[in-house]
Amino acid sequence: MLRSLKELTGYTVEATDGDVGKAKDFYFDDAGWFLRYVVVDTGGWLTGRKVLVGPEVFGPADWDLHKIPVTVSKDTIESSPPISEDVPVSRHEEERMRTFYGWFNWWTDPTYGFANASPEAAAAARELTATVTATVTDPHLRSVDEILGYHIEAKDGELGHVDDFIVDDRTWAIRYVVVATRNLLPGKKTLIAPEWISALHWSNERLAVDLTQQQIKNAPEFDPREAINRRFEEHVYDYYGRPRYW
């Protein structure tokens, strides 16, 4: 299913022998738009240490109990190498952590850890990561929490801001950015797919899209209270006249 990352923030992360802490943030790679880690705030345990946990050990999220189960123990997480909470996380830090857990490097096998991904999603991940590997020697992870509130830069001016991210809870691919069309007053919300994003400007907190203001304003309205089904996705893609990802 497609789920809100804002909703997942604050969920309890449950190790094999008890609760570890809370999901504080999510990191994704800024080319493939796949979720790579949950930032876990361990609270009082481990004196409030922040750790990263990858989808390799995620179990299915429990939406009723607000929990994300993981297939490692508290001791394993406690022994994991320290890593900077600030993004971008260096490639050296990431390699050290992944070696500790025995995980492959996602930049060499972009679909590792996504056992339930469809063939189409797996192929897309490989294609996107191949592009990154060919052009960027040290791609960085980005924080979902950091990007919330970024202004939307359409082809003909600014319109609204980033309000949320929608993730596929089977593949952990980010499928949509939720755009609030107004910055101060409540307004319409619409969905934009990552492939329609032309750039992320970290210095001035802008997300540039290959769309006009009018296209975004007139797009199908997204209601966060309603589940996103395939019919609504078809409606969004057909409105923009873009090829579907499925």
Find all residues with CB under 8 Å of 200, minimum gap 6, and list them: 30, 142, 147, 150, 206, 207, 208
Contact 35, 55 (CB under 8 A): yes
Q: What is the Cβ-side half-sphere exposure of residue 194, based on CA atoms within 13 angstroms?
A: 19
DSSP H helical segments within the chain, as ranges?
5-8, 74-78, 91-101, 119-135, 144-147, 213-217, 230-240
Of all residues in the chain, the percent with pLDDT exceeding 90 is 50
Residue carrying structure tokens 């493939």: 32
The pTM is what?
A: 0.81
Tens-place pLDDT, residues 131-184: 433 333 345 678 899 999 999 999 999 999 999 999 998 889 999 999 999 877
CB atoms closer than 10 angstroms to residue 69: 16
User: Which one is predicted more confidently, 47 or 52?
Assistant: 52
**Rounded-to-10 torsion of CA 110, 87, 162, 168:** 30
Domains in the chain with CATH codes: 2-135 (3.90.50.10), 148-240 (3.90.50.10)
Mean pLDDT of the 185-190 span? 86
Contact 111, 117 (CB under 8 A): yes
Q: What 8-state DSSP symbol labels residue 109? A: S
**DSSP letters spanning 41-93:** E-TTGGGG-EEEE-GGGB---BTTTTEEEBSS-HHHHHTSPP--SSSSPPHHH
Give the residues across from 151 on adjacent strands.
161, 206
Mean pLDDT of the 234-242 span? 98
